[in-house]
Amino acid sequence: MSVSEAVLDPAVKAPLVVRPELAGTKPSLIGLTREQMADALKDNGVPEKQVRMRVSQLWHWLYIRGVSDFDAMTNVAKDMRQMLKEHFTIARPEVVEEQVSNDGTRKWLLRFPPRGAGRPVEVETVYIPEEGRGTLCISSQVGCSLTCSFCHTGTQRLVRNLTAEEILAQLLLARDRLGDFPDRDVPQGAMIPSSDRKITNIVMMGMGEPLYNFEAVKTALLIASDGDGLSLSKRRITLSTSGVVPEIYRTGEEIGVMLAISLHAVRDELRDMLVPINKKYPLKELIEACRAYPGLSNARRITFEYVMLKDVNDSLEDAKELVKLLKGVPAKINLIPFNPWPGTNYQCSDWATIEKFADFINQAGYASPIRTPRGRDILAACGQLKSESERMRKTERLAFEAMMIAGHGEDD
């Protein structure tokens, strides 16, 4: 069974959802570890002998049932629910806008409340359905500090890191909107995968550099992969980094998810320009960290992302150097047709050039898929995520090439 062929309007917008409770200062239980949740309950008068049981109850309701209202926790005593409502929140973020592409890709613009003396912030989360899988692309920061020269998202300044709660909330909200919790209905006309779950894979590949927000990302991903809750296999979770070498080692040791590297060049002088973090962590150090990543095998490969830029990094010599660079590293190489955006100085490589590049990589023994554009009519492709205040005009969007976020992580 394939995904539904229903054709939806290019941009189906949801109205602004006014959520007064989000403006408060109550802490959220979402994103807390079990230990942190236990401490929060004890601090609010829950007897020591009840804490473990209460944490188990809350964990079930938050991450298996997916509730966002304490009153829905029917096996929790009424006075306990009242205490929880007075001191905590489990509310979802505001949905400022929801867009649905003709190909089934969905993009949500989410608004989170102020933190401390800050202001409300917005991030984008993208869902891509395929036959047999559905991939959710999650943001880790508001904006980005890396300023990669070919990336539209990188033109937005870094505002702040997202909390573990805010990272997890993207997954919870997407599961809400897709009917992916028990007793929830799938949206009418939605394109969904043929798997039991609507969201089978997640990628930390949205706005921001996840490894510059390591602790919050770690906490969120460990909760997402917890077998007594959201229960996503770590082989179905992919963290994409531009190359923060010290935290690549930590990711392997402390999180253990699949790894993707935004490579894009095989020579330091070019990568210094395309991906400026290379000046701090050059290719030799980056590849050494990849070789040392725990559990690498032909069945558990690192994905290397390589955007195809015309007359910049797309020559046959570049392909040869790429094979040489990755020799001995179990790897898959995703070739990404460049996504143009207003003001960019780059162009997408010619299709014949991309195919020639891919053929050489394949003949050298590396899987080298060419990414199919997805979600381009709603500006949901990689490198095109940006908050509402700096979005491109709708009339410009149809002109842009895009690549799909899907295809990361294992199928089983």
Sequence-distant contacts of 378-382: CB under 8 A, at least 24 apart: 378/10, 378/11, 378/99, 378/100, 378/101, 378/105, 378/107, 379/107, 380/99, 380/101, 380/105, 380/106, 380/107, 380/124, 380/126, 381/339, 381/405, 382/205, 382/305, 382/336, 382/339
Cα-flanking dihedrals φ and ψ of residue 400, to 5°? -100, 135
Dist. CA 229–CA 62, nearest whole Å:
8
Dist. CA 314–CA 348, nearest whole Å:
10
Dist. CA 205–CA 209, nearest whole Å:
8
Element (H, E) at 357: helix 351-363
Task: State the CB neighbour count (10 A cutoff) for residue 331.
Answer: 24
The SS3 assignment for 396 reads helix
321 is catalytic: no
Which candidate in 124, 130, 247, 305 is catalytic? 124
Dist. CA 405–CA 379, nearest whole Å:
12
DSSP 61: I
Dist. CA 108–CA 9, nearest whole Å:
15
Q: Which residues pair with 258 in a beta bridge?
A: 238
Cα-flanking dihedrals φ and ψ of residue 258, to 5°? -70, 150
Closest CA relative to residue 338, chosen from 357, 320, 360: 357
- How does strand 331-337 pair with strand 302-308? parallel
124 is catalytic: yes
Annotated binding site: 144, 148, 151, 208-209, 240, 262-264, 339
The answer to whether 73 touches 67, Cβ cutoff 8 Å, is: yes
Alpha helices in 255-331 (DSSP H): 268-274, 283-291, 316-325
Dist. CA 309–CA 315, nearest whole Å:
10
Cα-flanking dihedrals φ and ψ of residue 273, to 5°? -85, -45
The answer to whether 174 touches 206, Cβ cutoff 8 Å, is: no
Q: Could you tell me the two tokens for 303?
A: 């994905």
Q: Which residue has the tokens 């690498």?
A: 296
Annotated binding site for [4Fe-4S] cluster: 144, 148, 151
Closest CA relative to residue 206, chosen from 381, 378, 339: 381
Q: Which residue has the tokens 């290719």?
A: 283
In whole angstroms, what separates CA 282 from the centre of its chain?
A: 25
- The residues annotated as belonging to the active site are 124, 382
